Amino acid sequence: MRTKLRRLENNLRRLVGRPPRFSAFGTKASDALRSTYKGRSADIFFTNKSHLIHKWLHYLPIYDQTLEPFVGTKVRMLEIGVSKGGSLGLWRKFLGEDATIFGIDIQPACAVYDGEAASVRIGSQDDPQFLRSVVSEMGGLDIVLDDGSHVASHQRTSFNVLFPLLSEGGLYIIEDMHTAYWPSFEGGLKRRGTAIEFLKDKIDYMHRHYRTRGLNTEAMMPDIESIQFFDSIAVVRKRKQLPRYHVMAPSPESSP
Ligand SMILES: C[S@@+](CC[C@H](N)C(=O)[O-])C[C@H]1O[C@@H](n2cnc3c(N)ncnc32)[C@H](O)[C@@H]1O
């Protein structure tokens, strides 16, 4: 009955040009789905018997290919958005005991998860002072996973504060970027300031030395190595870039 009503509502939303509700994509973890997704994070997710985890299944292989190099290391990870605490448990199992894992959430109720799989601090992702104090407590930052409010202005504030605090080679991951198309999250197709448009601007920033003279120097090169877009997830890797040189080998002077 509920499913039918949801379908009806989403059909009506489609008729009036509104995006579907999140729940339109919700389904049960059937055996067919379980067997489609394999790998470290899928194993942890599908065998979870502890706190609830919300995940889009197509994120699981992306976590594996992106985060596997950090497994078993002393990586410092901050997850924005704790909810029922389940995903902090997933990261603990995924990354191992040596990882420093912090979660932040605006809901005071999330404090009950502090000290379980990770440390939890209460505050808003659009509060720069709060974000800086959490990173200072963590002793540095290698991975940020923004799965918080998904509101465009919040995503921008968090990125602007936290990306500069990331270590060299660190990753900044933004989830649920489809909300960039939904008005209730300050979204809309090609609307300025959504996470999608914000990161598209970063692509231009990565290439600025090809447009403006004087920027191809060690001091002026950008600190973004790559921006990877998946469906609804983007992964930005921080690494100071070297000036660009186009060279021939062997050099024309030395060749016979
Ligand atoms: C999608 S849930 C997180 C789910 C969790 N990461 C998981 O995978 O199970 C989003 C969470 O973000 C929190 N949130 C909403 N606005 C926030 C804000 N401004 N700052 C920090 N957290 C916020 C909500 O309270 C909610 O718990």
Q: pLDDT tens, 175-216?
A: 999 999 999 999 999 999 999 999 999 999 999 999 999 999
Q: How far apart are CA 145 and CA 159, in angstroms?
A: 10
pLDDT given at position 21? 60
Domain ranges in the chain are: 1-28, 70-238
207 part of the active site: no
pLDDT band at 18 (very low <50, low <70, confident <90, very high): low
Q: What is the pLDDT of residues 44-101, one digit of tens each?
A: 998 898 899 888 999 999 999 999 999 999 999 999 999 999 999 999 999 999 999 9
**78 CA distance to ligand 1 middle (Å):** 12
Q: How far apart are CA 135 and CA 141, in angstroms?
A: 6
Instruction: Look at residue 254 and tell me whether its pLDDT is greater than 80.
Output: no
Q: Which of 79, 90, 106, 134 to mutate to test the pocket of ligand 1 (most atoms within 8 A of CB)?
A: 106
Bridging pattern class, strands 76-80 and 100-105:
parallel
Q: Which of 144, 147, 157, 182 to mutate to test the pocket of ligand 1 (most atoms within 8 A of CB)?
A: 147
pLDDT band at 163 (very low <50, low <70, confident <90, very high): very high
Out of 150, 154, 178, 209, pick the active-site residue.
150
Lowest mean pLDDT among 20-24, 38-42, 112-116, 194-198: 20-24
Beta bridge mates, 104: 80, 121
pLDDT given at position 55? 86
What's the rounded mean pLDDT across residues 99-115? 98
Domain 70-238 has CATH 3.40.50.150: yes
